[in-house]
Amino acid sequence: SLGTGAGTALGAGVVAGVVGAAATVVKVAGTHLPAAHHRKGAASQPGGPEQLRLQWLTALEVRGIRPFLDQQRMLAASTGPGKKTGPALRGADKSAAARRRTVLEQSFGQLPEPEDLFAGRTEELARIGQWARAARAESETRPTVVVLHGEPGSGRTTLAVRAAHKLRDHFRGAVVVDLRGDGPETRPLPTRDALLHLLNRLGAPREQLLFREHSSPEQQVKRLAELYHQHLAGLPVTIVLDDASDPAQVRALIPERSDSLVLVTSRTPLELDADLPAWVHHLPVEALDAAGAEELLTASAQDSGHPYDAESTARIAELCGGLPLALRCAGSALGARSASGLAADLAAYGPVGPVERALWLRYSDQPDPARR
């Protein structure tokens, strides 16, 4: 009647119908939801949009915001004032953390196997364990440093490795680095190489161990030291610094803000800095007593039909100076020789050190190339 086309009139009618239906739905919902909310709220049951909104906010706080804030407070308390905490791990960061956990779990398998022939060091092992546990019980986070000093052949490295295996349950990883400090024909290991070895064995991200071109050795050592202390912050591990001679190098390899155990082997008692933030202990590794020497000598001996000779056995231990290396070498010669014959042979090699005497005896029946 208005002169409008049939298609236009039909479209207007559809639009009017949709608008009317939407208005009806809004009206019905507006009258139904408050009533449902009131009924459900009165019954102490979730219902209505407001209660659903409150439930969502509560879940978000419990599962997301509250744990995040608690984690940030713990990190702030562990790192101290003025330290910035990083964001939550995502993507590649999770992969790096997983790799670190895997490397740390496998690090104990890369330790040298403990010596089967081991005797007379029960007291020293107990003292190392006591110092490590006492440090972990302290409120202040500091590493425990034990300097094992003694003459060559006294078993310093064997004792340190044995302690690392025995205390495995108290630490998350372990590593041994040979500093080559007292080698007569080798140069000491540079601090840069020692840091690289420690970081790689303890699961540091490998991309962080790369250097820019033309960077000086001093800059590399400084950057590696910062990464080393940052990587081990709050991470308790066992570190064996074998054959050390430079106190400054040892000082650079002691992790800060960590409950780690650092076992340093040296010929002499290294004098570390008095202001070193660590619990420092000195443990002399001396000659074995008579009982320990006899036990090690007997365990090293080959099967023999010779009768037991207490006097000759004591004489052998005396000629070996009570040193485990010399005792093992001498014990390996028992069986082919009687105890009295072995004692006479040892005494016949003149005024030389006990290790040299035992080694010469060990190879005295070998051809010249092997003996040399």
Is 301 in contact with 335 (CB distance < 8 Å)?
Answer: yes
pLDDT at 203: 87
Residue-level pLDDT, tens digit, the chain, 372 residues: 667 787 888 888 888 898 888 888 778 766 665 555 555 544 444 455 555 655 555 555 545 555 555 555 556 665 555 554 444 545 555 676 777 788 888 899 999 998 888 888 999 999 999 999 999 888 889 999 999 999 989 999 999 999 999 999 999 999 999 999 877 677 899 999 999 999 989 988 877 777 766 778 888 899 999 999 999 999 999 999 999 999 999 999 999 889 999 999 999 999 887 788 899 999 999 999 999 999 998 888 866 667 778 888 888 888 888 999 888 888 887 766 777 877 887 777 665 677 776 666 666 655 666 655
Q: What angle do CA 184, 185, 187 make, to 5 degrees?
A: 95
169-182 residues labelled b (16+ CB within 10 A) or e (exposed): eebbbbbbbbbbbe
Among residues 315, 104, 56, 321, the alpha carbon closest in space to that of 202 is found at 104
pLDDT at 86: 47
Phi/psi region, residue 286 (left: phi>0; alpha: psi -120 to 50; beta: rest), is beta
**pTM greater than 0.85:** no
Superfamily of domain 100-284: P-loop containing nucleotide triphosphate hydrolases (3.40.50.300)
pLDDT at 43: 45
- Would you state the structure tokens that stand for residue 37, as one six-digit string? 């909310």
Q: What angle do CA 36, 30, 14 make, to 5 degrees?
A: 135
Is 324 in contact with 296 (CB distance < 8 Å)?
Answer: yes
- Distance between terminal CA atoms of the chain? 125
